[in-house]
A and B are shown apart, each in its own frame.
Chain A
Amino acid sequence: MTAINHHISDDLLAAYAAGTLPHPYAVVVAAHISLCLDCRAGFEAHQMAGGALLEAANSEAVSGNLKNSTLALLDAPAPVEKTYARSGVYPGPVMEALKGKPPRWKSLGLGVRQCILSGDREGSVRLLYIPPGQAVPDHSHNGLELTLVLQGSFSDETGRFGVGDLEIADQDLEHTPIADAGPPCICLAATDAPLRFNALLPRLLQPLFKI
């Protein structure tokens, strides 16, 4: 496994630990932490800070019977929670977003495919499949976009991104990622705005393809 060179920024990690990151980004951050020990350690450091604040919090007395009613529930059956294990190149949080099933790819043309995991007003998160040498269409960003490489690699004006690397792009970055030679590049991409493609697809068609 090659070293991960591109990591989550500290403000994103703090927001993720506090639970304020919109869901599409949280999926990407959880997937990156699953692959990256450095960012896992950073995440745990933020949890430690949250815990220190919890210990220092102003106490509010709880009702007299809350303790006994909690103790009485210790033997009650626990709700079953489904957990999703890593499968192939897809980390647990991606498998959870896929509900445990393999991705169902939709063609975007030129061999590029996508599989939308979720999308709403908060933004969307999707898997992208890009054959080697193929460009992800040049796009401008409307907001924050996180792209995590799960297989292969891509390169753009800012550098090379391999498995586990996370690209953080905002509206100031105009870039053209191209999948490197080797296995097809599979990425997990989250955005809080619809991507504006400058090439390949006319704007009018974008709602149709949901990109």
Chain B
Amino acid sequence: MLIASLDTPPTLKPPPARFGKDMTQVTKPSAQVSPQTTWMLLVRDQRDRDAFAMLFDYFAPRLKGFIMRSGTGTGQAEEIVQEVMLTVWRKSAQFDPERAQVSAWIYQIARNRQIDVIRKENRPMPEELAEDPETEPDAGQILAVEQEAGALKKALSLLKPDQREIIEKAYLGELTHQEIRTQTGLPLGTIKSRIRLGLERLRHELKDMR
């Protein structure tokens, strides 16, 4: 059974159905979940090509713009976009809406691919977190991730243009770690306040693993 966590804000009802890996039970997630998350879950759980096409329409032009900003030409940018979107399809089982927004997950795939292309080396990545397959999906946590992401987007949109420029450069890979270090100030502080959520979820998972 799906049980909304206690910290779910009272104004939000939990979605009526579970997002489990149990194929027969997956239904349309509620309207409170973003369309991107809904499409991604349909791709993950039902291998839904129409949902994949929707994800493509939403993310491909953004990815292309994002990749071209760091100086990549249009042809190579489209190659990378295609490879990123194929990875989204192939590795969809790794997508966990209780920990990440679709855009965060795709951002990481895109940066990995760009590093592969530019440096011809694989970026070392942490071990995947082992999750108990019996863990019930937590709709409250999915909504909490969406809310936190919304708050973060709002915070980013309120930055002054010069601060925004710095943070964009940092996450587009245009600053070295030394440069990020000298720029550590408001932008990273904003992000740090978002860490709490991830921590809660991860502690929860750790408890399940014991």
Contact = CB atoms under 8 A, between A and B. Distances in A.
Answer whether A and B are interacting partners: yes
A96 B124 contact: yes
A98 to B, nearest CB: 12
A164 interface: no
Nearest to B68: A60
B64 A60 contact: yes
Interface of B: 49, 52-53, 56-57, 59-66, 68-69, 74, 77-78, 81-82, 85-86, 89-90, 99-108, 110-112, 114-115, 119, 121, 123-127, 129, 148-149, 152-153, 156-157, 167-168, 170-173, 175-177, 180-181, 184, 188, 191-192, 194-195, 197-199, 201-203, 206
Given A14-B180, A14-B188, A50 B57 contact: no
Nearest to A61: B61
A73 B111 CA distance: 21
A190 B99 CA distance: 30
A73 B86 CA distance: 8
Interface of A: 9-12, 14-15, 17-21, 23, 25-27, 29-31, 33-34, 37-38, 40-63, 66-67, 69-71, 73-74, 78, 85-86, 91-93, 96-97
B108 A47 contact: yes
**B-side interface mostly:** helix
A48 B168 CA distance: 13
Given A52-B152, A57-B69, 7 more contacts: A18-B175, A19-B111, A31-B126, A48-B104, A49-B194, A51-B105, A52-B153
Among A9, A57, A73, chain B packs the most CB atoms within 10 A around the CB of A57
A9 B177 CA distance: 11
Nearest to B58: A55
Interface of chain A, helix or strand or loop or mixed? helix
A67 B198 contact: no
Nearest to A92: B127
Contacts of A73: 82, 86
A45 B194 contact: yes
B62 A57 contact: yes
A26 B176 CA distance: 13
A75 to B, nearest CB: 10
B156 A53 contact: yes
A51 B103 contact: yes
Contacts of A44: 99-100, 104, 198
Contacts of B52: 71, 74
Which 6 interchain pairs have the tightest Cβ spacing? A51-B103, A51-B104, A41-B198, A15-B177, A59-B61, A50-B107
A47 B110 CA distance: 11
Contacts of A31: 124, 126
B111 A49 contact: no
Given A26-B124, A60-B64, A71 B195 contact: no
B184 A10 contact: yes
Contacts of A56: 153, 156-157
A74 B195 contact: no
B148 A48 contact: yes
A18 B111 contact: yes
A88 B115 CA distance: 30
Contacts of A66: 60, 78, 81-82
Contact of A74 (B49, B64, B105, B167): B49
A15 B89 CA distance: 27
Residue of A11, A25, A58, A78 contacting most chain B CB atoms (<10 Å): A11
A38 B75 CA distance: 39
B64 A11 contact: no
